[in-house]
Each structure stands twice: as C-alpha cells, then as structure tokens.
Amino acid sequence: MTTRGVESRRAAVLGSPIAHSLSPVLHRAAYVELGLTGWTYDRFEVDEARLPGFFGTLDASWAGLSLTMPLKRAVIPLLDEISDTARSVEAVNTVVLTDDGRRVGDNTDIPGMIAALRERGVEKTEEAAVLGAGATASSALAALARICSGPVTAYVRSEARAAEMRGWGERLGVEVRTADWAGAARAFDAPLVIATTPAGATDELAASVPGSPGTLFDVLYDPWPTPLAAAWSGRGGAVLGGLDLLVHQAVLQVEQMTGRSPAPLAAMRAAGEAALRSTGA
C-alpha cells in the first residue's frame, strides 16, 4: 500500500490511557532511519466517545493511525475496509489512509507476534498455553492458529471467559481447551506459554516455573522483567517480552503507512530499549 507523494505527513497513536505508549518512540526512530524528515508521529488521548470526532478531523496530511485500547473494536464502523486478519479477531490496531482517501484497517499484532516468535526460533509448536482471556488473548489464538499443530489450553478466571476463548478457538480453527486459573502453573508444561494478563496477575506463578521451561512470551513491557519472566529466564527458558511484540507490530505499521520496506527493526528496537531504560522500567 503506497502513500501520497508529499513530504509532510502525519501519523499518531490513539487510545485511553495513552501517555505510557512507546509507539511514538518507535515510529519516530523509523522515520529518522528512513530519511522521512517531514513525517511526524504523535499520541492523542482518545476514548470511544471521542473517536468519531477525531476521525472527522483527518485530512490529506494523515498517513495512518495506531490504535490501542479501548479503540480496537470501536473503530471498525468508521472504516471503509478491514483486512481478513483484523476481521478474524474483530480488532483493528492499524488504520492506513490511502491515496484515494479510504480508511483501511488491519491488525499487525497477530503477524507481529508470529514474527517475534520466529526471530527467537519458534516457528512451529505442537501445543501451547495461554494465560488470560482478553483482547490480546484472542490475538494470541489467531497467531497460534498459524503455528500450533495441536491443542491450546487457556487458563481463565471464569466460565464466561472460558466460553469466550472456546468460541474464539472455533472461529479461528484452534482446538482450545480451558482450565481454571487456580491451576495455571500447569501451563508451564507446554513448550510455548503466552501470558496476556495485566501487570501483577502472574506474579504469584513465578515460584512455580519448572527447572527446564520452554518458551515464554509475556506481552508486558513495563515493568520489565515481570517476576514470571525473571524466574523463567533464571531457569534457562527462552523469554520474549512486550517490547518484542510492540516492535514487530510497529515495523509492519511503518511499512504500511509509509510504503517503505523493510522498516528498520534494529533501530526501532534500540530506541524502545533506550526509552524503557530512561524510565527505569
């Protein structure tokens, strides 16, 4: 997807809360590396009620938007088209404004998760476990639909959440088994564990990490490392964090919004790491 041939372009990340977002750091680093001196990338505090009004302000200078919670589903009615990937989980995290003024939505979290795992040598797995059942968990299931040949066990806190995850499994073509959160430590028997829970939710599980764990993908990046990630790494397991996901999904966003490929993965990751160090994360 190409962008309009003008020097000065705008992009931004929207969400609420948004002040913590590292997206501006990553995208701006990409613009520097790509020589896009006229491009800007900002953040805007926008909730669901304000989203339609914000869209009404978009003019030809805008190249694209990144979306975080709570906007990933709220944005869909405002778009002209969404990709099959975004439709599969009913969540859009990327909007590209095309040359003809159309608003096209995509989800780069799913291929970003796959790319992050591939970078660490995880291309296929026979089974997996997912901790949690929110929006990120559905994206994890969509990613696992492409790389997992066997069952995925989701550890959740309620039967309603369990039913939701089984429903996503049916929709995405993944064999999803559900288990109560009280037994979440059993997830660590799987060769791949994806933790999609909020900060603090898995801290109590850190003491249960086995002696020779597989791969953990903990989607948090601040604070980092989480107690679970630290314990996992300490026992010799491979660990991916939220920055890995954030960088890989941002790479895909930059490529879509700018029409330039490949985006500078190394420079974006370095910028993100430096930003986290500066905040003490």
Which residues are catalytic, by number?
Answer: 72
- Rounded Cα distance between 235 and 207, Å, is 11
Q: Is the separation of the CB atoms in 85 and 110 below 8 Å?
A: yes
In angstroms, how far is CA 170 from the centroid of its own chain? 22
Tell me phi and psi for residue 202, to 5 degrees: -105, 5
Tell me phi and psi for residue 274, to 5 degrees: -65, -40
CB atoms within 10 A of CB 35: 9
In angstroms, how far is CA 116 from the centroid of its own chain? 10
Contacts of 59 (CB under 8 A, 6+ apart): none
Q: Is the separation of the CB atoms in 112 and 64 below 8 Å?
A: no
